[in-house]
Amino acid sequence: MTPFFGELLGTFILIVLGNGVNANVSLSKTYGNNSGWIVISFGWAIAVFVAVFIAGPISGAHINPAVTIGLAIADKFPWNSVPAYILAQLIGAFFGASAAFLHYRPHFKATNNPEAKLGIFSTGPAIKSTTDNLISEVIGTFVLVFGVFFLVSGNGLGSLDALPVGLLVLGIGLSLGGSTGYAINPARDLGPRIFHALAPIPGKRDSNWRYAWIPVLGPTIGATLAGFLFSII
C-alpha cells in the first residue's frame, strides 16, 4: 500500500467522520440534532485519532496539507513528495464528504436550512471579519503544527501518535474553534466545499467561495510559521 493511498484513505476517514458529526448535529430528524459544539469537537478529535491510527503506518498520516508543508519547512519531510500528498488529501476529503452525504441523505431532504447544509462540509466565520478570520486560522493551525512537532516522533505521524494528536485537535476545537469553525486543514475545507458545489444536495445555497481562500491561506501561513520556528529552536 503506497503513501499516496495512505494519505487518501486517512483523509477519507477524517472527513467521513468529521462531516458526519457535523451532519448528525446540524441536520433535522437525526438523533444527534442540536447536541452542540462539545459533540462536534469530540467528533472531530476522534476522527483525527482514527485516521492517524489507520494511516500512520502507511504514509505517516499527515492528512492535512498544513502538516505536510510544516514538516517540509522543518526539513522533516521531502519537498518533492509534498504535491502528491496534498493531492491525495484533497481527493480523500472529497470522497469523505460524499460518503457523509450519502449516509445522511434523507436528513438533507428533511432540513430546510441551507446554511446548515453548507456548514456540514465547509467552515465559516461566526463574525465576518476578513482579517480577524484569517488570523484565527493562522493561530489555530500554528498551534496544531507546532504541537505536532513535539507530540510525534520521526518524520510523520505513526499509530502511537494518534491519541496525542487527537487530544491536540480536541483542545483546539474547544479553545480556538468558536471563531471560524477551526478548519486548520486546507483539504478538510476545500475538498468538501468542492463536493458541496458539485453535488445534487437538495435546497443548498452557494458554496461561499468568497470565504474559501481563508481556510486555505490561513492554515498555510500558520504551518509555515510553525515550521520556521521549530527549525530555529
pLDDT recorded at residue 128: 97
Name the residue with cell 475545507.
Answer: 189
Residues 6+ apart with CB under 8 A from 224: 69, 70, 73
Q: What is the pTM of this model?
A: 0.95
Q: Where are the domains of the chain?
A: 3-232
Rounded mean pLDDT for each run of 10 residues along the chain, 233 residues in total: 95 98 98 97 97 93 96 95 98 98 98 97 98 98 95 66 92 98 98 98 97 98 97 90
CATH architecture under which domain 3-232 falls: Up-down Bundle (1.20)
